[in-house]
Amino acid sequence: MIAPPGAGKGTQGALIAAHFDMPHIATGELLRDHVARQTALGQTVQEYLDRGELVPDRIVLDMLREAMAAAKAAGGGFVLDGIPRNMRQAHAAYLIGRELGMVANVALHLQADDAELMRRLLARAALDHRSDDTREVIAQRLTLYHEVTSPILAWYRDRGILVSVDAMRSAHQVGREVLTALEAMRPLLDHVPEWMRVPVDLTGLEDAFGAIRAAGAPD
């Protein structure tokens, strides 16, 4: 899952994992668990979170390999949420997937604008009292996303596995569209090699159907 902070990765990742009965590998939750338990790793991670910086790749990738190996032992399949956040992580995750025979079939892109993301994250901060969700830190995280994470989209697009969804709507609407798209794609994955696949952009569906309804409305 590729999305800026506040776009709903955690909510949609959990929904997809439950629907397809597979592990939800949420690196943010794994890291926060270490922070909450004040482990040595957690204390190191907290310093990065408080500054709005990305946690070093070596920490995240070690956790990822362990979680993916556990998913494979449980029967295979996974929903990856929170990584990759830069091209090095994307390539490393791909190599881990190849090594384990678990290369991703879909890169789900949740698209939303910065103003809406800031509103959502400030509201969440007020409810959850999260130290990493101040206005200044949120702005830094969004800047990092645009500069460091968003270039990954082109790589997944070129691989033909990118599916883009408009995340500016309610979580229910987004989830329904995501599950419908994934169910439609599921039977094709075993028969269409990656090099023959094409990216899917669903972000204009609402506008398209709205235009159709408007065109069909009586005068």
- The domain of 59 spans 9-216
Convert the pLDDT of each residue in 126-176 to its tens digit.
888 776 678 998 999 899 999 998 889 999 999 999 999 999 999 999 999
**From first to last of its 219 residues, what are the pLDDT tens digits of the chain?**
999 999 999 999 999 999 999 999 998 888 888 888 888 878 888 888 788 787 888 888 888 898 899 999 998 899 999 899 889 999 999 999 999 999 999 999 999 999 999 999 999 888 887 766 789 989 998 999 999 988 899 999 999 999 999 999 999 999 999 999 999 988 887 777 776 788 899 887 554 334 334 445 554
In this prediction, residue 23 carries a pLDDT of: 95
> Would you say residue 79 lies in a domain?
yes
> Would you say residue 3 lies in a domain?
no
Helix H or strand E segment including 16? helix 9-20
Rounded to 5 degrees, φ, ψ at 43 are -65, -35
Residues in the chain: 219
Q: In the chain, what is the greatest distance between 2 CA atoms, to the nearest angstrom? A: 68
**Cα–Cα dist 16/78, whole Å:** 9
Q: Is 42 exposed, middle or buried (0-12, 13-18, 19+ CB in 10 A)?
A: middle
In this prediction, residue 208 carries a pLDDT of: 38
Cis peptide before 5 (omega within 30 of 0): no
**Cα–Cα dist 157/146, whole Å:** 16
Indicate yes or no: pTM above 0.85: no
Tell how strand 200-201 and strand 162-166 pair up: parallel
> Would you say residue 29 lies in a domain?
yes
CATH number of the domain that residue 177 is part of: 3.40.50.300
In this prediction, residue 55 carries a pLDDT of: 81
Residue ranges in 21-131 assigned as alpha helix (H): 27-36, 40-50, 57-73, 87-100, 114-128
For the chain, what is the domain count?
1
In this prediction, residue 53 carries a pLDDT of: 81
* CA–centroid distance for 213 within its chain: 32
> Would you say residue 78 lies in a domain?
yes
> Would you say residue 2 lies in a domain?
no
Nearest CA to 21 out of 193, 188, 179 is that of 179
